[in-house]
C-alpha cells in the first residue's frame, strides 16, 4: 500500500503525464463530469461519476476501421490504424471497472477484436473507490464492491491521503513512475474508508434489489411475460440508455463513400433503434416492445446465459439518471424479478 499526500496530487498527475496521456474526470461547462486529458492546471471533478462511461476509451463511439481505394477493377485495402498511444485513465469507479470485464468477454474472445485489444493493452486503469454513492447506485446487487474496485491500480481517498495499491504488473509499473512522491501507507486508513463506504451502501435504496427470478436459463419464463408491454409503453426508442451504458457493446459497420474511395467505420448502435436488426429480408424486431425486451433480456438473461451467470449490468445507475422517461433496468427487475414484488 502506498500513500500520496493530497497536496502532491498535481505532481503525481504530472509524473504520470510525462510519459503517458493521462485522462481524468473534469467538470464541463454544464457542471457534468467527463474524461479530459490532463494538463498543468486541470482540476479533477469531485462528482461521483462521469456522465458518459469509461468504455469510450476502449470502445469509442465512432472509429474508422479501414479504407478502400478503387482504381478501375482493382481495389486497394488500406489499414488506417496508427501506433496506439499509452494512456492512463484515473478515477474510474468500481462499476465501470467491472464493465471492462464484460466488454473483454465479448471483444477478447475468438474472433478477437484487434482494435479493442490494442487499446486495452495500451491503457492503464486507475480506479477510485467510492466515498459517497448515490441513490441510483446498485453495483452491490451484482457483487461489485464500490469500496474495493478492480483496475491496474486502486486508489482510496482517506483521512491520511490518497492510498494506492497496484493490482497488476502494469499498475506496479505506473506507480514506479511516481515512486519519488509515494510513501508507505497504512492499510488501516483504507479499511476505515472502506467501512464508511460499505455502511452507506447498505443504506442505499437499491442495495436490496433482488436478482431472483432473473439470470441464466430464464428465457422461457421471461420472454413472453405480459408486463413487457406496460414497461415499454412509454419508451421513446431513443439511444440514451444504450449510449451512457458502460456495458452496451453493439455497433454498426457502415461505408462512407468519399467520392474516390470508401471509408469503412463502425459506430455504436442501439437495440432501441428501428433499424438495429434491419437485414436484407427486413427487420426481425418491428415493435418497440420487442426492442425494449431485447435490451433488458440481453443484460439480465442472455448475457448471464453465456457468461456463467454474470449479469450484463454493473449497477452504475446512468440509465436511471438519464432516461428521458425514467424507465430503466431497476424498474424492469422489480417488475419481472421474483423477490421484488
Partner 1 sequence: MQELMKKRAIELLADGTCDRVLGWEKGDFAYDQTPALFHTAEELRASFVYNGFSAANLSKYLVKECRAGGKIAVFLKPCDTYSFNQLLAEHRIKREMIYVIGVACDGKADVEKLKDAGIDGITDIREEGECYVVSTIYGDKTVKKAEALAERCLNCKSRKHMAYDELIGESGEVVPNSGRFDMVEQLEAMTPDERYEFWRGELSRCIRCNACRNVCPACTCEQCIFDNPKSGVAQKAAVNSFEENMFHIIRAFHVAGRCTDCGECSRVCPEHIPLHLLNRKFIKDVNSFYGEYQAGEDPAARPPLGRYEKNDIEPGEAGGNRA
Binding site for partner 1 (CB under 8 A): 28-32, 34, 48, 51-52, 61-62, 132-136, 200, 203-206, 230, 233-234, 236-240, 242-244, 252, 254, 265, 267-270, 273-275, 278, 320, 322, 324-328, 330-331
Contacts of 184 (CB under 8 A, 6+ apart): 1, 2, 3
For partner 1, give the closer residue by CB, 45 or 310: 45
Q: Where are the alpha helices (DSSP H) in the chain?
A: 9-17, 94-107, 114-122, 169-177, 187-203, 219-222, 227-232, 240-244, 288-297, 303-306, 318-322, 329-336
For partner 1, give the closer residue by CB, 221 or 233: 233
For partner 1, give the closer residue by CB, 105 or 283: 283
Least distance from partner 1 to the Cβ atom of residue 145, Å: 18
For partner 1, give the closer residue by CB, 109 or 278: 278
Least distance from partner 1 to the Cβ atom of residue 335, Å: 11
For partner 1, give the closer residue by CB, 168 or 207: 207
Least distance from partner 1 to the Cβ atom of residue 130, Å: 11
Q: What share of the chain is helix, strand, coil (3-state, %, to 5)?
A: 35, 20, 45
Beta pairing class for 251-257 and 183-184 = unpaired
For partner 1, give the closer residue by CB, 46 or 73: 46
Least distance from partner 1 to the Cβ atom of residue 27, Å: 10
Q: Nearest CA to 155 among 37, 36, 13? A: 13
Helix (H, G, I), strand (E, B) or coil at 211: coil
d(CA 51, CA 144): 20
For partner 1, give the closer residue by CB, 284 or 326: 326
Least distance from partner 1 to the Cβ atom of residue 153, Å: 26
The secondary structure element, H or E, covering residue 22 is strand 21-27
For partner 1, give the closer residue by CB, 11 or 34: 34
Greatest extent of the chain over all pairs of C-alpha atoms, in Å: 71
Helix (H, G, I), strand (E, B) or coil at 67: strand
DSSP state of 176: H
Least distance from partner 1 to the Cβ atom of residue 146, Å: 13
Least distance from partner 1 to the Cβ atom of residue 270, Å: 8
Least distance from partner 1 to the Cβ atom of residue 60, Å: 10
Q: Are 27 and 292 in contact (CB under 8 A)?
A: no
Phi, psi of 238 (to 5 degrees): -90, 175
Q: Are 117 and 108 in contact (CB under 8 A)?
A: yes
Amino acid at each position: 500500500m502506498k500513500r500520496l499526500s493530497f497536496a502532491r496530487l498535481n505532481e503525481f498527475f504530472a509524473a504520470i503525464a510525462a510519459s503517458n496521456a493521462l485522462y481524468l474526470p473534469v467538470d464541463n461547462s454544464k457542471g457534468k463530469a467527463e474524461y479530459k486529458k490532463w494538463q498543468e492546471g486541470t482540476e479533477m471533478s469531485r462528482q461521483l461519476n462521469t456522465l458518459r462511461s469509461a468504455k469510450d476509451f476502449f470502445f469509442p463511439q465512432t472509429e474508422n476501421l479501414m479504407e478502400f481505394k478503387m482504381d478501375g477493377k482493382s481495389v486497394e485495402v488500406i489499414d488506417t490504424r496508427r501506433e496506439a498511444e499509452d494512456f492512463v485513465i484515473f478515477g474510474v469507479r468500481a462499476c465501470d471497472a467491472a464493465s471492462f470485464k464484460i466488454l473483454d468477454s465479448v471483444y477478447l474472445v475468438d474472433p478477437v477484436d484487434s482494435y479493442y485489444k490494442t487499446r486495452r493493452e495500451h491503457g492503464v486503469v486507475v480506479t477510485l473507490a467510492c466515498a459517497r454513492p448515490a441513490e441510483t447506485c446498485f453495483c452491490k446487487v451484482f457483487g461489485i464492491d464500490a469500496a474495493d474496485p478492480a483496475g491496474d491500480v486502486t486508489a482510496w481517498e482517506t483521512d491520511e491521503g490518497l492510498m494506492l495499491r497496484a493490482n497488476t504488473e502494469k499498475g506496479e509499473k505506473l506507480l514506479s513512475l511516481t515512486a519519488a512522491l509515494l510513501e508507505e501507507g497504512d492499510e488501516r486508513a483504507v479499511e476505515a474508508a472502506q467501512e464508511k463506504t460499505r455502511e452507506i451502501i447498505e443504506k442505499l435504496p437499491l442495495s436490496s434489489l433482488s436478482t431472483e427470478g432473473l439470470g441464466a436459463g430464464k428465457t422461457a419464463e421471461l420472454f413472453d411475460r405480459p408486463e413487457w408491454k406496460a414497461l415499454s409503453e412509454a419508451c421513446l426508442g431513443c439511444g440514451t440508455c444504450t449510449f451512457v451504458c458502460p456495458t452496451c457493446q453493439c455497433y454498426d459497420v457502415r461505408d462512407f463513400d468519399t467520392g474516390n474511395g470508401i471509408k469503412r467505420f463502425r459506430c455504436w448502435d442501439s437495440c432501441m433503434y428501428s433499424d438495429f436488426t434491419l437485414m436484407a429480408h427486413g427487420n426481425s424486431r418491428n415493435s418497440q416492445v420487442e426492442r425494449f425486451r431485447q435490451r433488458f433480456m440481453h443484460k439480465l438473461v442472455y448475457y448471464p446465459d453465456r457468461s456463467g451467470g454474470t449479469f450484463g449490468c454493473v449497477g452504475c445507475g446512468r440509465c436511471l439518471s438519464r432516461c428521458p422517461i425514467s424507465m430503466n433496468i431497476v424498474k424492469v427487475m422489480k417488475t419481472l424479478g421474483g423477490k421484488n414484488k
